[in-house]
Amino acid sequence: MRMMAALASQSAKAAPAAWNGHDTWLLALVGISIAVVVLLISWAKLHAFLALMVGALTVSLLSGAGVEKAANSFATGLGGIMGKVGILIVLGSVLGRLMAESGGIDQIVTTLTRAVGPKRLPWAITGIACVVGLPMFFEVGFVMLVPLVLRIAGSAGQPVLRVGIPAMAGLATVHALVPPHPGVLVAVNAVHADIGLTLVYGLIVAIPCAVVVGPLFTAYIWPRVTARVPGSAASTAEAPPRAATAGHARAYAQAGTRALVPAPAASTDVTVTGPAQPLPDAMLEEDEPQYARRLPRFSVTIGTVLLPIALMMLKASCDTFHWAHGALLTTVEFLGTPMISLLMAVLVALVTFGWSVGRSRREVQETLSRSLPPMAGVLVIVGAGGGYSVALQDSGINTAIGQAAQHLHIPLLLLAWLVAALMRTATGSGTVATVAAAGIIGPMAQGLDSPHAALLALALGSGAAFLGHVNDASFWMFKEYFGLSVGGTLRTWTVSHTLLSLTSLGAVALLNAVV
Protein backbone atom coordinates (compact mmCIF):
# COMPACT_ATOMS: atom_id res chain seq x y z
CA MET A 1 0.00 0.00 0.00
CA ARG A 2 2.77 2.41 0.86
CA MET A 3 4.43 1.67 -2.48
CA MET A 4 1.17 2.30 -4.35
CA ALA A 5 0.69 5.57 -2.48
CA ALA A 6 4.24 6.63 -3.31
CA LEU A 7 3.71 5.82 -6.98
CA ALA A 8 0.47 7.76 -7.01
CA SER A 9 2.19 10.73 -5.40
CA GLN A 10 4.97 10.65 -8.02
CA SER A 11 2.43 10.46 -10.82
CA ALA A 12 0.60 13.47 -9.42
CA LYS A 13 3.83 15.43 -9.30
CA ALA A 14 4.72 14.38 -12.85
CA ALA A 15 1.32 15.38 -14.29
CA PRO A 16 1.59 18.51 -16.40
CA ALA A 17 -0.10 21.65 -15.16
CA ALA A 18 -3.22 22.99 -16.86
CA TRP A 19 -2.45 24.88 -20.08
CA ASN A 20 -3.66 28.48 -20.45
CA GLY A 21 -3.54 31.38 -22.87
CA HIS A 22 -0.51 32.98 -21.25
CA ASP A 23 1.49 29.78 -21.82
CA THR A 24 0.53 29.87 -25.49
CA TRP A 25 1.71 33.48 -25.74
CA LEU A 26 5.02 32.61 -24.08
CA LEU A 27 5.62 29.83 -26.61
CA ALA A 28 4.79 32.27 -29.40
CA LEU A 29 7.40 34.60 -27.91
CA VAL A 30 10.05 31.91 -28.43
CA GLY A 31 9.25 31.88 -32.14
CA ILE A 32 9.16 35.67 -32.27
CA SER A 33 12.51 36.03 -30.53
CA ILE A 34 14.14 33.39 -32.75
CA ALA A 35 12.73 35.13 -35.84
CA VAL A 36 14.11 38.46 -34.61
CA VAL A 37 17.57 36.96 -34.05
CA VAL A 38 17.59 35.19 -37.42
CA LEU A 39 16.40 38.21 -39.39
CA LEU A 40 18.88 40.53 -37.72
CA ILE A 41 21.78 38.14 -38.42
CA SER A 42 20.87 36.93 -41.93
CA TRP A 43 18.95 39.86 -43.45
CA ALA A 44 20.10 42.96 -41.58
CA LYS A 45 23.66 41.54 -41.30
CA LEU A 46 24.01 42.59 -37.68
CA HIS A 47 26.61 40.98 -35.45
CA ALA A 48 25.23 38.09 -33.39
CA PHE A 49 25.90 40.05 -30.17
CA LEU A 50 23.48 42.81 -31.17
CA ALA A 51 20.97 40.32 -32.56
CA LEU A 52 20.91 38.28 -29.35
CA MET A 53 20.67 41.42 -27.26
CA VAL A 54 17.68 42.70 -29.22
CA GLY A 55 16.12 39.22 -29.08
CA ALA A 56 16.54 39.11 -25.30
CA LEU A 57 14.99 42.55 -24.84
CA THR A 58 12.12 41.58 -27.16
CA VAL A 59 11.34 38.53 -25.04
CA SER A 60 11.47 40.46 -21.77
CA LEU A 61 9.35 43.39 -22.89
CA LEU A 62 6.68 41.34 -24.70
CA SER A 63 6.36 38.99 -21.73
CA GLY A 64 5.36 41.96 -19.56
CA ALA A 65 8.62 42.79 -17.82
CA GLY A 66 9.46 46.46 -17.38
CA VAL A 67 12.29 48.19 -19.18
CA GLU A 68 14.54 48.13 -16.10
CA LYS A 69 13.98 44.42 -15.48
CA ALA A 70 14.61 43.65 -19.14
CA ALA A 71 17.95 45.44 -19.03
CA ASN A 72 18.89 43.83 -15.72
CA SER A 73 18.08 40.33 -17.00
CA PHE A 74 20.39 40.73 -19.97
CA ALA A 75 23.20 42.28 -17.93
CA THR A 76 22.93 39.59 -15.24
CA GLY A 77 23.08 36.78 -17.79
CA LEU A 78 25.99 38.32 -19.66
CA GLY A 79 28.04 38.80 -16.51
CA GLY A 80 27.28 35.36 -15.14
CA ILE A 81 28.26 33.43 -18.26
CA MET A 82 31.39 35.49 -18.87
CA GLY A 83 32.61 34.83 -15.35
CA LYS A 84 32.18 31.07 -15.66
CA VAL A 85 32.96 30.41 -19.34
CA GLY A 86 34.87 33.46 -20.60
CA ILE A 87 38.05 32.63 -18.66
CA LEU A 88 38.14 29.13 -20.13
CA ILE A 89 37.71 30.45 -23.67
CA VAL A 90 40.60 32.87 -23.20
CA LEU A 91 42.91 30.20 -21.76
CA GLY A 92 42.01 27.78 -24.56
CA SER A 93 42.75 30.45 -27.14
CA VAL A 94 46.17 31.14 -25.60
CA LEU A 95 47.06 27.43 -25.54
CA GLY A 96 46.00 26.99 -29.16
CA ARG A 97 48.00 30.00 -30.35
CA LEU A 98 51.13 28.86 -28.52
CA MET A 99 50.86 25.43 -30.13
CA ALA A 100 50.30 26.87 -33.61
CA GLU A 101 53.10 29.41 -33.56
CA SER A 102 55.62 26.97 -32.09
CA GLY A 103 55.19 24.63 -35.04
CA GLY A 104 53.53 22.03 -32.81
CA ILE A 105 50.75 21.45 -35.34
CA ASP A 106 53.31 20.85 -38.07
CA GLN A 107 55.16 18.42 -35.84
CA ILE A 108 51.98 16.40 -35.25
CA VAL A 109 51.18 16.38 -38.97
CA THR A 110 54.71 15.42 -40.01
CA THR A 111 55.01 12.58 -37.49
CA LEU A 112 51.63 10.98 -38.07
CA THR A 113 51.57 11.26 -41.85
CA ARG A 114 55.05 9.73 -41.99
CA ALA A 115 53.84 6.83 -39.84
CA VAL A 116 50.85 5.86 -42.03
CA GLY A 117 50.50 4.93 -45.67
CA PRO A 118 48.25 6.57 -48.28
CA LYS A 119 45.42 4.12 -47.57
CA ARG A 120 45.26 5.14 -43.91
CA LEU A 121 45.83 8.85 -44.52
CA PRO A 122 42.17 9.89 -43.81
CA TRP A 123 42.35 8.09 -40.45
CA ALA A 124 45.57 9.87 -39.53
CA ILE A 125 44.22 13.28 -40.62
CA THR A 126 41.05 12.75 -38.56
CA GLY A 127 43.17 12.00 -35.50
CA ILE A 128 45.39 15.02 -36.15
CA ALA A 129 42.37 17.31 -36.45
CA CYS A 130 40.85 15.96 -33.23
CA VAL A 131 44.06 16.62 -31.29
CA VAL A 132 44.62 20.04 -32.88
CA GLY A 133 40.99 20.97 -32.31
CA LEU A 134 40.98 20.24 -28.56
CA PRO A 135 42.33 23.66 -27.52
CA MET A 136 41.23 25.61 -30.63
CA PHE A 137 38.03 27.24 -31.79
CA PHE A 138 36.81 25.59 -35.01
CA GLU A 139 37.51 28.44 -37.42
CA VAL A 140 41.00 29.01 -35.98
CA GLY A 141 41.92 25.34 -36.24
CA PHE A 142 40.51 25.15 -39.77
CA VAL A 143 42.58 28.09 -41.01
CA MET A 144 45.67 26.64 -39.32
CA LEU A 145 45.20 23.20 -40.91
CA VAL A 146 44.31 24.22 -44.48
CA PRO A 147 47.90 24.91 -45.67
CA LEU A 148 49.02 21.62 -44.13
CA VAL A 149 46.11 19.75 -45.73
CA LEU A 150 47.02 21.11 -49.16
CA ARG A 151 50.68 20.31 -48.63
CA ILE A 152 49.91 16.73 -47.54
CA ALA A 153 47.55 16.19 -50.48
CA GLY A 154 50.19 17.43 -52.90
CA SER A 155 53.06 15.43 -51.43
CA ALA A 156 51.06 12.20 -51.21
CA GLY A 157 49.41 12.67 -54.61
CA GLN A 158 45.96 12.41 -53.02
CA PRO A 159 42.70 14.19 -53.96
CA VAL A 160 42.34 17.20 -51.72
CA LEU A 161 38.92 16.17 -50.38
CA ARG A 162 40.36 12.84 -49.24
CA VAL A 163 42.49 14.88 -46.84
CA GLY A 164 40.29 17.95 -46.32
CA ILE A 165 37.05 16.25 -45.25
CA PRO A 166 38.69 14.23 -42.42
CA ALA A 167 40.38 17.42 -41.18
CA MET A 168 37.05 19.22 -41.06
CA ALA A 169 35.33 16.21 -39.47
CA GLY A 170 37.85 15.93 -36.64
CA LEU A 171 37.66 19.62 -35.83
CA ALA A 172 33.85 19.69 -35.97
CA THR A 173 33.51 16.63 -33.74
CA VAL A 174 35.58 17.91 -30.84
CA HIS A 175 34.13 21.42 -31.26
CA ALA A 176 30.60 20.08 -30.80
CA LEU A 177 31.16 17.49 -28.09
CA VAL A 178 34.34 18.00 -26.08
CA PRO A 179 35.03 20.68 -23.44
CA PRO A 180 36.61 23.19 -23.21
CA HIS A 181 34.94 24.41 -26.41
CA PRO A 182 32.62 27.39 -25.83
CA GLY A 183 29.33 25.77 -26.84
CA VAL A 184 29.82 22.68 -24.69
CA LEU A 185 30.97 24.80 -21.75
CA VAL A 186 27.83 26.91 -21.96
CA ALA A 187 25.69 23.78 -22.08
CA VAL A 188 27.53 22.28 -19.09
CA ASN A 189 26.98 25.46 -17.12
CA ALA A 190 23.31 25.73 -18.10
CA VAL A 191 22.32 22.22 -17.07
CA HIS A 192 24.64 22.18 -14.01
CA ALA A 193 26.62 19.20 -15.32
CA ASP A 194 30.01 18.06 -14.06
CA ILE A 195 32.56 19.16 -16.65
CA GLY A 196 34.89 16.22 -15.99
CA LEU A 197 32.13 13.67 -16.50
CA THR A 198 30.91 15.54 -19.59
CA LEU A 199 34.45 15.40 -20.92
CA VAL A 200 34.63 11.63 -20.41
CA TYR A 201 31.25 11.05 -22.06
CA GLY A 202 32.11 13.55 -24.80
CA LEU A 203 35.26 11.64 -25.72
CA ILE A 204 33.33 8.34 -25.73
CA VAL A 205 30.75 9.83 -28.10
CA ALA A 206 33.32 11.67 -30.20
CA ILE A 207 35.31 8.57 -31.16
CA PRO A 208 32.59 6.80 -33.22
CA CYS A 209 31.42 10.16 -34.59
CA ALA A 210 34.90 11.06 -35.82
CA VAL A 211 35.25 7.63 -37.46
CA VAL A 212 31.87 7.83 -39.21
CA VAL A 213 32.14 11.44 -40.36
CA GLY A 214 35.88 11.30 -41.06
CA PRO A 215 37.35 8.28 -42.90
CA LEU A 216 34.09 6.39 -43.56
CA PHE A 217 32.13 9.29 -45.02
CA THR A 218 35.24 10.48 -46.87
CA ALA A 219 35.65 7.09 -48.58
CA TYR A 220 32.09 7.42 -49.90
CA ILE A 221 31.94 11.07 -50.91
CA TRP A 222 35.33 12.15 -52.31
CA PRO A 223 35.02 10.27 -55.65
CA ARG A 224 31.59 11.85 -56.19
CA VAL A 225 32.53 15.52 -55.74
CA THR A 226 34.98 17.57 -57.80
CA ALA A 227 37.26 20.01 -56.01
CA ARG A 228 39.55 22.48 -57.74
CA VAL A 229 41.59 24.45 -55.23
CA PRO A 230 41.90 28.14 -56.19
CA GLY A 231 45.42 29.36 -56.88
CA SER A 232 45.15 31.81 -53.97
CA ALA A 233 44.44 28.96 -51.56
CA ALA A 234 47.06 26.64 -53.02
CA SER A 235 49.68 29.34 -52.65
CA THR A 236 49.34 29.04 -48.87
CA ALA A 237 50.97 25.63 -49.14
CA GLU A 238 54.01 26.84 -51.07
CA ALA A 239 56.09 27.61 -47.98
CA PRO A 240 56.15 26.69 -44.33
CA PRO A 241 53.85 28.89 -42.21
CA ARG A 242 55.57 32.00 -40.89
CA ALA A 243 54.62 31.00 -37.37
CA ALA A 244 56.80 27.90 -37.48
CA THR A 245 59.93 27.45 -35.49
CA ALA A 246 63.53 26.14 -35.36
CA GLY A 247 64.51 25.84 -38.93
CA HIS A 248 60.99 24.71 -39.82
CA ALA A 249 61.70 24.37 -43.51
CA ARG A 250 65.05 22.71 -42.84
CA ALA A 251 63.41 20.35 -40.35
CA TYR A 252 61.13 19.08 -43.10
CA ALA A 253 64.15 18.48 -45.32
CA GLN A 254 65.98 16.60 -42.56
CA ALA A 255 62.91 14.48 -41.91
CA GLY A 256 62.67 13.53 -45.58
CA THR A 257 59.47 15.52 -46.10
CA ARG A 258 60.82 18.77 -47.44
CA ALA A 259 57.71 20.98 -47.24
CA LEU A 260 56.28 19.48 -50.41
CA VAL A 261 53.88 21.60 -52.42
CA PRO A 262 51.61 20.86 -55.37
CA ALA A 263 52.87 21.73 -58.83
CA PRO A 264 50.79 24.67 -60.11
CA ALA A 265 48.70 24.16 -63.21
CA ALA A 266 48.68 26.51 -66.14
CA SER A 267 45.40 28.08 -65.10
CA THR A 268 44.69 30.12 -62.00
CA ASP A 269 43.17 27.05 -60.35
CA VAL A 270 45.02 23.91 -59.38
CA THR A 271 43.81 20.47 -58.45
CA VAL A 272 45.91 19.26 -55.55
CA THR A 273 46.18 15.66 -56.63
CA GLY A 274 49.28 15.56 -58.80
CA PRO A 275 53.00 15.22 -58.23
CA ALA A 276 54.69 17.45 -55.71
CA GLN A 277 57.70 19.73 -55.92
CA PRO A 278 60.11 20.32 -53.02
CA LEU A 279 61.09 23.77 -51.92
CA PRO A 280 64.40 24.80 -53.51
CA ASP A 281 67.44 25.03 -51.25
CA ALA A 282 67.67 28.73 -52.05
CA MET A 283 64.32 29.27 -50.37
CA LEU A 284 65.47 27.32 -47.32
CA GLU A 285 68.56 29.48 -46.98
CA GLU A 286 66.72 32.70 -47.66
CA ASP A 287 64.11 32.02 -44.99
CA GLU A 288 66.57 30.65 -42.43
CA PRO A 289 66.66 33.79 -40.25
CA GLN A 290 62.89 33.58 -39.81
CA TYR A 291 62.96 29.89 -38.84
CA ALA A 292 66.00 29.86 -36.57
CA ARG A 293 64.31 27.74 -33.93
CA ARG A 294 63.54 24.09 -33.47
CA LEU A 295 60.21 22.31 -33.50
CA PRO A 296 58.83 20.95 -30.23
CA ARG A 297 59.03 17.17 -29.98
CA PHE A 298 55.95 15.18 -30.95
CA SER A 299 55.58 13.58 -27.50
CA VAL A 300 55.95 16.95 -25.78
CA THR A 301 53.37 18.53 -28.09
CA ILE A 302 50.79 15.80 -27.52
CA GLY A 303 51.45 15.79 -23.78
CA THR A 304 50.96 19.56 -23.49
CA VAL A 305 47.72 19.59 -25.48
CA LEU A 306 46.24 16.65 -23.59
CA LEU A 307 47.32 17.86 -20.12
CA PRO A 308 44.07 19.74 -19.27
CA ILE A 309 42.01 16.82 -20.60
CA ALA A 310 43.98 14.40 -18.41
CA LEU A 311 43.62 16.56 -15.30
CA MET A 312 39.86 16.96 -15.74
CA MET A 313 39.43 13.23 -16.40
CA LEU A 314 41.49 12.45 -13.30
CA LYS A 315 39.14 14.58 -11.22
CA ALA A 316 36.12 12.92 -12.83
CA SER A 317 37.46 9.45 -12.01
CA CYS A 318 38.11 10.55 -8.43
CA ASP A 319 34.55 11.88 -8.10
CA THR A 320 33.15 8.64 -9.53
CA PHE A 321 35.30 5.98 -7.82
CA HIS A 322 36.41 7.90 -4.68
CA TRP A 323 39.98 6.59 -4.86
CA ALA A 324 41.63 9.70 -3.34
CA HIS A 325 41.37 11.09 0.19
CA GLY A 326 42.84 13.87 2.29
CA ALA A 327 45.56 16.01 0.73
CA LEU A 328 45.59 13.93 -2.45
CA LEU A 329 41.86 14.50 -2.93
CA THR A 330 42.28 18.25 -2.41
CA THR A 331 45.11 18.35 -4.95
CA VAL A 332 43.19 16.35 -7.56
CA GLU A 333 40.07 18.46 -7.08
CA PHE A 334 42.10 21.66 -7.44
CA LEU A 335 44.07 20.61 -10.53
CA GLY A 336 40.99 19.11 -12.17
CA THR A 337 39.01 22.35 -11.96
CA PRO A 338 38.65 23.45 -15.60
CA MET A 339 40.14 26.90 -15.07
CA ILE A 340 43.13 25.52 -13.14
CA SER A 341 43.76 22.65 -15.56
CA LEU A 342 43.78 25.00 -18.54
CA LEU A 343 45.96 27.49 -16.67
CA MET A 344 48.44 24.70 -15.86
CA ALA A 345 48.51 23.68 -19.53
CA VAL A 346 49.19 27.29 -20.58
CA LEU A 347 52.03 27.61 -18.05
CA VAL A 348 53.54 24.36 -19.30
CA ALA A 349 53.07 25.52 -22.91
CA LEU A 350 55.08 28.68 -22.19
CA VAL A 351 58.03 26.31 -21.72
CA THR A 352 57.29 23.51 -24.20
CA PHE A 353 56.02 25.75 -27.01
CA GLY A 354 58.08 28.80 -26.11
CA TRP A 355 61.33 29.11 -24.26
CA SER A 356 62.50 25.49 -24.70
CA VAL A 357 62.31 25.72 -28.51
CA GLY A 358 64.41 28.87 -28.69
CA ARG A 359 61.78 31.60 -28.48
CA SER A 360 62.66 34.70 -26.52
CA ARG A 361 60.51 36.12 -23.75
CA ARG A 362 59.50 38.99 -26.02
CA GLU A 363 58.36 36.60 -28.77
CA VAL A 364 56.34 34.56 -26.32
CA GLN A 365 54.76 37.75 -25.01
CA GLU A 366 53.82 38.77 -28.56
CA THR A 367 52.23 35.36 -29.14
CA LEU A 368 50.16 35.78 -25.98
CA SER A 369 49.02 39.21 -27.16
CA ARG A 370 48.04 37.86 -30.60
CA SER A 371 45.97 35.07 -29.05
CA LEU A 372 43.41 37.37 -27.44
CA PRO A 373 41.89 39.57 -30.20
CA PRO A 374 40.53 36.65 -32.32
CA MET A 375 38.48 35.44 -29.35
CA ALA A 376 36.80 38.80 -28.74
CA GLY A 377 33.96 37.99 -31.14
CA VAL A 378 33.39 34.60 -29.53
CA LEU A 379 33.35 36.09 -26.04
CA VAL A 380 30.75 38.73 -26.81
CA ILE A 381 28.51 36.17 -28.57
CA VAL A 382 28.72 33.80 -25.61
CA GLY A 383 28.03 36.70 -23.24
CA ALA A 384 25.01 37.83 -25.25
CA GLY A 385 23.77 34.26 -25.27
CA GLY A 386 23.93 34.27 -21.49
CA GLY A 387 21.84 37.44 -21.43
CA TYR A 388 19.33 35.86 -23.82
CA SER A 389 19.18 32.79 -21.58
CA VAL A 390 18.35 34.77 -18.43
CA ALA A 391 15.76 36.83 -20.32
CA LEU A 392 13.99 33.60 -21.28
CA GLN A 393 14.14 32.30 -17.72
CA ASP A 394 12.87 35.52 -16.14
CA SER A 395 9.96 35.67 -18.58
CA GLY A 396 8.75 32.18 -17.67
CA ILE A 397 9.18 30.77 -21.17
CA ASN A 398 11.20 27.83 -19.92
CA THR A 399 8.35 26.70 -17.69
CA ALA A 400 5.93 26.91 -20.62
CA ILE A 401 8.22 24.85 -22.86
CA GLY A 402 8.62 22.26 -20.10
CA GLN A 403 4.84 21.96 -19.78
CA ALA A 404 4.48 21.65 -23.57
CA ALA A 405 7.10 18.89 -23.63
CA GLN A 406 5.20 17.04 -20.89
CA HIS A 407 1.92 17.33 -22.79
CA LEU A 408 3.60 16.08 -25.98
CA HIS A 409 5.60 13.43 -24.08
CA ILE A 410 8.94 14.47 -25.62
CA PRO A 411 11.93 13.15 -23.64
CA LEU A 412 14.14 15.94 -22.33
CA LEU A 413 17.19 14.59 -24.19
CA LEU A 414 15.39 14.66 -27.53
CA LEU A 415 13.84 18.06 -26.75
CA ALA A 416 17.29 19.51 -26.11
CA TRP A 417 18.57 18.14 -29.42
CA LEU A 418 15.53 19.44 -31.32
CA VAL A 419 15.76 22.96 -29.90
CA ALA A 420 19.51 23.17 -30.60
CA ALA A 421 19.05 21.75 -34.11
CA LEU A 422 16.34 24.32 -34.82
CA MET A 423 18.55 27.15 -33.63
CA ARG A 424 21.50 25.89 -35.70
CA THR A 425 19.37 25.61 -38.82
CA ALA A 426 18.01 29.10 -38.27
CA THR A 427 21.12 31.02 -37.20
CA GLY A 428 23.93 29.07 -38.85
CA SER A 429 26.22 29.26 -35.81
CA GLY A 430 26.81 26.20 -33.66
CA THR A 431 27.92 28.33 -30.73
CA VAL A 432 24.91 30.65 -30.96
CA ALA A 433 22.63 27.61 -31.29
CA THR A 434 24.07 25.93 -28.20
CA VAL A 435 23.94 29.11 -26.14
CA ALA A 436 20.33 29.89 -27.09
CA ALA A 437 19.12 26.30 -26.70
CA ALA A 438 20.91 25.96 -23.35
CA GLY A 439 19.00 28.98 -22.09
CA ILE A 440 15.72 27.28 -22.94
CA ILE A 441 16.57 23.78 -21.72
CA GLY A 442 18.75 24.64 -18.70
CA PRO A 443 16.01 25.29 -16.12
CA MET A 444 14.36 21.97 -17.03
CA ALA A 445 17.46 20.09 -15.89
CA GLN A 446 16.88 20.79 -12.21
CA GLY A 447 17.21 17.61 -10.19
CA LEU A 448 19.06 15.55 -12.82
CA ASP A 449 21.91 13.44 -11.52
CA SER A 450 25.44 14.07 -12.83
CA PRO A 451 25.51 11.41 -15.59
CA HIS A 452 22.20 12.47 -17.13
CA ALA A 453 23.03 16.18 -16.84
CA ALA A 454 26.28 15.51 -18.71
CA LEU A 455 24.42 13.63 -21.44
CA LEU A 456 21.90 16.47 -21.70
CA ALA A 457 24.77 18.92 -22.28
CA LEU A 458 26.09 16.64 -25.05
CA ALA A 459 22.63 16.45 -26.61
CA LEU A 460 22.66 20.25 -26.87
CA GLY A 461 26.08 20.14 -28.54
CA SER A 462 24.91 17.38 -30.84
CA GLY A 463 21.85 19.32 -31.98
CA ALA A 464 23.95 22.44 -32.57
CA ALA A 465 26.02 20.52 -35.18
CA PHE A 466 22.93 19.80 -37.30
CA LEU A 467 22.56 20.91 -40.94
CA GLY A 468 25.28 23.53 -41.40
CA HIS A 469 24.36 25.29 -44.63
CA VAL A 470 24.53 28.61 -46.49
CA ASN A 471 23.89 30.78 -43.42
CA ASP A 472 27.04 29.38 -41.77
CA ALA A 473 30.22 31.39 -42.38
CA SER A 474 32.34 28.24 -42.11
CA PHE A 475 30.31 26.71 -44.96
CA TRP A 476 31.71 29.38 -47.28
CA MET A 477 35.22 29.01 -45.86
CA PHE A 478 35.18 25.31 -46.73
CA LYS A 479 33.77 26.02 -50.19
CA GLU A 480 36.37 28.63 -51.10
CA TYR A 481 39.43 26.90 -49.66
CA PHE A 482 38.73 23.65 -51.51
CA GLY A 483 37.23 25.14 -54.68
CA LEU A 484 33.81 23.48 -54.42
CA SER A 485 30.52 24.48 -55.97
CA VAL A 486 27.61 25.30 -53.68
CA GLY A 487 26.10 21.91 -54.51
CA GLY A 488 29.39 20.17 -53.76
CA THR A 489 29.66 21.99 -50.44
CA LEU A 490 26.13 20.93 -49.51
CA ARG A 491 27.00 17.32 -50.34
CA THR A 492 30.18 17.42 -48.24
CA TRP A 493 29.98 20.06 -45.50
CA THR A 494 26.21 19.95 -44.87
CA VAL A 495 25.82 16.19 -45.11
CA SER A 496 28.84 15.57 -42.88
CA HIS A 497 27.53 17.91 -40.17
CA THR A 498 24.08 16.33 -40.34
CA LEU A 499 25.70 12.90 -40.09
CA LEU A 500 27.74 14.10 -37.11
CA SER A 501 24.64 15.39 -35.36
CA LEU A 502 22.59 12.23 -35.91
CA THR A 503 25.45 9.87 -35.04
CA SER A 504 26.23 11.73 -31.83
CA LEU A 505 22.53 11.80 -30.89
CA GLY A 506 22.40 8.02 -31.32
CA ALA A 507 25.55 7.57 -29.22
CA VAL A 508 24.21 9.85 -26.47
CA ALA A 509 20.90 7.96 -26.47
CA LEU A 510 22.75 4.64 -26.09
CA LEU A 511 24.78 6.01 -23.18
CA ASN A 512 21.58 7.34 -21.63
CA ALA A 513 20.10 3.86 -21.75
CA VAL A 514 23.16 2.39 -20.02
CA VAL A 515 24.03 4.89 -17.26
Cα dihedral across residues 491, 463, 216, 141: positive or negative: positive
The secondary structure of residue 288, as a DSSP letter, is G
For residue 102, the model assigns a pLDDT of 87
Give per-residue pLDDT as tens, 284-303. Answer: 333 333 444 578 988 898 88
Determine the residue type at 291: Y
Give per-residue pLDDT as tens, 144-157. Answer: 777 778 777 777 77
Helix (H, G, I), strand (E, B) or coil at 507: helix
Kindly tell me if the per-residue pLDDT of 348 is higher than 90.
yes
For residue 474, the model assigns a pLDDT of 79
- From the list 345, 329, 271, the residue with the least C-alpha distance to 92 is 345
CA distance 282 to 217: 41
CA distance 431 to 175: 9
**Mean pLDDT over the full length of the chain:** 77
Per-residue burial over 218-239, b if 16 or more Cβ lie within 10 Å, else e, is: beebbeebebbbeeebbebbbb
Instruction: Tell me the sheet residues that pair with 261.
Output: 277
CA distance 96 to 91: 9
Kindly tell me if the per-residue pLDDT of 238 is higher than 80.
no
Domain residue extents for the chain = 21-515
Kindly tell me if the per-residue pLDDT of 98 is higher than 50.
yes
Give per-residue pLDDT as tens, 130-147. Answer: 888 877 778 767 877 777
Kindly tell me if the per-residue pLDDT of 177 is higher than 90.
yes
Determine the residue type at 27: L
Kindly tell me if the per-residue pLDDT of 313 is higher than 50.
yes
CA angle 453, 402, 66 (to 5 degrees): 110
Task: Please indicate whether residue 495 or residue 147 has the higher confidence score (pLDDT).
Answer: 495
Decide: residue 207, CB within 10 A, 0-12 exposed, 13-18 middle, 19+ buried. middle
Per-residue burial over 252-279, b if 16 or more Cβ lie within 10 Å, else e, is: beeeebbbbbbeeeeeeebbbbeebeeb
Task: Of 357-371, 438-452, 496-510, give the range with the top mean pLDDT.
Answer: 496-510
Helix (H, G, I), strand (E, B) or coil at 262: strand
Q: For 325, left (φ over 0), alpha (ψ -120 to 50), or beta?
A: beta
Task: Please indicate whether residue 280 or residue 441 has the higher confidence score (pLDDT).
Answer: 441
Decide: residue 326, CB within 10 A, 0-12 exposed, 13-18 middle, 19+ buried. exposed
Mean pLDDT of the region 435-457? 87
At 256, the pLDDT band (50, 70, 90 cuts) reads: very low
For residue 252, the model assigns a pLDDT of 33
The secondary structure of residue 353, as a DSSP letter, is T
Mean pLDDT of the region 439-446? 83
For residue 231, the model assigns a pLDDT of 57
At 186, the pLDDT band (50, 70, 90 cuts) reads: confident
Give per-residue pLDDT as tens, 378-398. Answer: 788 778 877 887 887 788 776
For residue 8, the model assigns a pLDDT of 38
> Are 114 and 257 spatial neighbours (Cβ–Cβ below 8 Å)?
yes
DSSP 150-217: HHHHHHHT--HHHHHHHHHHHHHHHHHHSTTSHHHHHHHHHTT--HHHHHHHHHHHHHHHHHIIIIIH
DSSP 401-446: HHHHHHHHT--HHHHHHHHHHHHHHHH--HHHHHHHHHHHHGGGGT
Task: Please indicate whether residue 161 or residue 113 has the higher confidence score (pLDDT).
Answer: 161
